[in-house]
Amino acid sequence: MSCEHVERDLDTYLDNELDAATAMDVRGHLNECAACRRRVAEREALSRLVRAVPYYSAPDRLRARVLAQTTRARSARRLLTWAAAAVLIVSLGGGGMILWRSTGTHDDAIAVELVDNHVRSLMANHLFDVESTDRHTVKPWFLGKLDFSPPVADLASIGFPLVGGRLDYVGGRPVAALVYQRQRHTINVFVSPASNDALTQANVQSLRGFRIHHWVHDSMSFWAVSDLNEAELTEFCEALEAS
Amino acid sequence: MLPHLDAAFNYAFWLTRNSADAEDLVQDACVRAMRFLSSLRDDDARAWLFAIVRNTWYSRVSRRANLAEATPLDSARDERPDVALDPEERLLQQHTVALVRAALEQLPADFREVIVLREFEGLSYKEIAAVVRVPIGTVMSRLARGRERLMAVLKLTAPMEIRR
C-alpha cells in the first residue's frame, strides 16, 4: 500500500470504518512509514482536542418544558391505549385482555429494564455505589452484597477506564453493574450468573438509541449498555470478554 | 427523548452557534418528535432526534434569509472548569478549548455538523448519512475536508507539511 492510499483512507481508518482487510494493509504500511505514522498521530491529536470540548448541556428550563410536553403526550396516549383495551375487552370478553398483554416479549422486557437502569444511573446521579478506577477496590466491594463474585477488569490501557461499580436490579434479582467510560460516553456492564436463565437470552441489540450487547463467559452473563457507537462498543465487549 | 436532550441541545448549538436559538430549536424539535412518535423506531431514537433537530433548523433558516449574518455568536458559555486540575493546567485547558471551539465555529456548517456528529456523538458514517441525508461518500469527504481545515486553523500540521 502506498502513502497516497493511506492518506486517502486516513479518516476511514481512524474512524474504524474501513473493512478489516484494508485496515490491515494500512497498519502494515504504518509499521514501515514514519511520515504516515506522523499523519495518523496528528489526526488522533485533533480528535482528542475536539472531544475535549465540553458538551453544551440543555438548560434546566428546557428540560422542564420538554418533560411537561412528554407527560402531556404520554397521558393522551395512555388514555387512547386504555380506550382501545376497553373496546377489546368489551368485544372479546376476557380473551381480549390476554391477547393484549402478550404483545411484548420477555426479551424486550429485559432490554427495556437494562436501558432504563442505564438511563436512571446517568440521570439520577447515581452512577456508582463505589467510585474507583482500581479493580482491586471495586471487586471486593461486591462481597457480601451478592451471592456471586463478578469478574472485574480494567480496560484503561485501550481507552475504556473502569470508573466504578454499583448494585442494581434486573429481572427482580440483584446484579453487579460495572461502570466504564469512553470519552463522554458511559458504559454500564450488568453481570449476573448465567444460571439465572431469565437473563441469559436476548435478541434485542438496541433500544431508544442505546446499544445492548450480551454474552456469556465462564458461566457469567454479561450485558453492556451504552450510547457508544457500534464499532467501539464491539471493541469494548471483545476486550472485556478476552480479559 | 429526555435521555438524549443534552445530545440534541449540543448538536443544536453547533448548528445555530447560539444558545437561545438552540433552546428554541430543541423545544420545537421535541414537539415535532412527539407528533411523529408513532413512526419512531426505538433502535435509532438518538439519530432520529438529530434528524428532526436538523430539519427544523433548516426549514427555519430558509424562512429567514441571510440568517448567518444576522445571528451573533454566543458569548455566554456554559464553562465548567475541571476542578481536578491545578490553576495553571486549568487555564491552559480553557485556552485550548476556546481555540478549538472558535475553530469549529468558523467551519462551514456542512463540515461542522459531520464533525460534531462523529466526534461528540460517535455516530457511524451510515448514521450520519441518514441524519444529514447525503450519501456515505459525501459524509467521508466532508469529514476529511473539515478535519483538514481544523488541522490548518489549529496549526496541528508539522511546518514542513504546510510548505508541501
**Full 3-state SS string of chain A:** CCHHHHHHHHHHHHCCCCCHHHHHHHHHHHHHCHHHHHHHHHHHHHHHHHHCCCCCCCCHHHHHHHHHHHHHHHHHHHHHHHHHHHHHHHHHCHHHHHHHHCCCCHHHHHHHHHHHHHHHHHHCCCCCCEECCCHHHHHHHCECCECCCCCCCCEHHHCECEEEEEEEEECCEEEEEEEEEECCEEEEEEEEECCCHHHCCCCCCEECCEEEEEEEECCEEEEEEECCCHHHHHHHHHHHHHC
What DSSP state is assigned to residue B39?
Answer: G
pTM (2 d.p.) = 0.59
Give the number of beta-carbon pairs within 8 Å between A and B.
141
What DSSP state is assigned to residue B84?
Answer: T
In three-state secondary structure terms, B75 is coil
Specify the number of domains making up chain A.
3
CA B59 from centre of chain: 17
pLDDT of the residue at A94? 47
Instruction: Please determine, for residue B160, whether its predicted confidence score (pLDDT) is greater than 50.
Output: no
A90 lies in the same domain as A153? no
A111 lies in the same domain as A34? no
Residue A91 structural domain: 58-103
Q: Which residues have a Cβ under 8 Å from the Cβ of A140 and sit 6 or more positions away? A: none
Q: What are phi and psi of A94, to 5 degrees?
A: -60, -35
CATH 1.10.10.10 fits B87-164, yes or no: yes
pLDDT of the residue at A191? 92
Burial of B73 (0-12, 13-18, 19+ CB in 10 A): exposed
Give percent of chain A with pLDDT exceeding 90. Answer: 24
pLDDT of the residue at A173? 82
- CB A162, CB A177: distance < 8 Å: no
Per-residue CA distances from B1 to A175, A184, A208, B121, B134 (Å): 27, 19, 8, 16, 25
A28 lies in the same domain as A117? no
Residues of A in contact with B143 (CB under 8 A): 11, 15
A131 lies in the same domain as A237? yes
pLDDT of the residue at B31? 83
Q: Measured between CB atoms, which of A45, A56, A123 is closest to B19?
A: A56
Phi/psi region, residue A152 (left: phi>0; alpha: psi -120 to 50; beta: rest), is: beta
Per-residue CA distances from A34 to A3, A10, A14, B17 (Å): 10, 14, 17, 39
A117 lies in the same domain as A220? yes
CATH (domain of A116): 3.40.1000
pLDDT of the residue at A101? 39
Q: Which residues in chain A land under pLDDT 50?
A: 94-104
Strands A185-193 and A173-182: what pairing? antiparallel
**A121: closest chain B residue by CA:** B3
B122/A232 touch (CB, cutoff 8 Å), yes or no: yes
C-alpha–C-alpha distance, residues B146 and B164, integer Å: 19
A181 lies in the same domain as A85? no
A119 lies in the same domain as A220? yes
For residue B3, the distance in angstroms to the closest alpha carbon of chain A comes to: 7
- CB B131, CB B26: distance < 8 Å: no
Instruction: Please determine, for residue B36, whether its predicted confidence score (pLDDT) is greater than 60.
Output: yes
The single residue listed with the C-alpha cell 459524509 is: B139
pLDDT of the residue at B12? 94
B13/A56 touch (CB, cutoff 8 Å), yes or no: yes
**A11: closest chain B residue by CA:** B144
For residue B71, the distance in angstroms to the closest alpha carbon of chain A comes to: 18
- CATH number at B1-72: 1.10.1740.10
pLDDT of the residue at B72? 46
Of the residues A30, A51, A72, the one at which a domain ends: A51
Of the residues A103, A131, A164, the one at which a domain ends: A103
Q: Per-domain residue ranges for chain B? A: 1-72, 87-164
The tens digit of pLDDT for each residue in B109-155 reads: 999 999 999 998 889 999 999 999 999 999 999 999 999 999 998 88
Q: Measured between CB atoms, which of A62, A63, A69 is closest to B31?
A: A69
A80 lies in the same domain as A159? no
A17 lies in the same domain as A128? no
A134 lies in the same domain as A216? yes
Higher pLDDT among residues B79 and A73, named by residue: A73
**Cell digits for B55?**
430539519
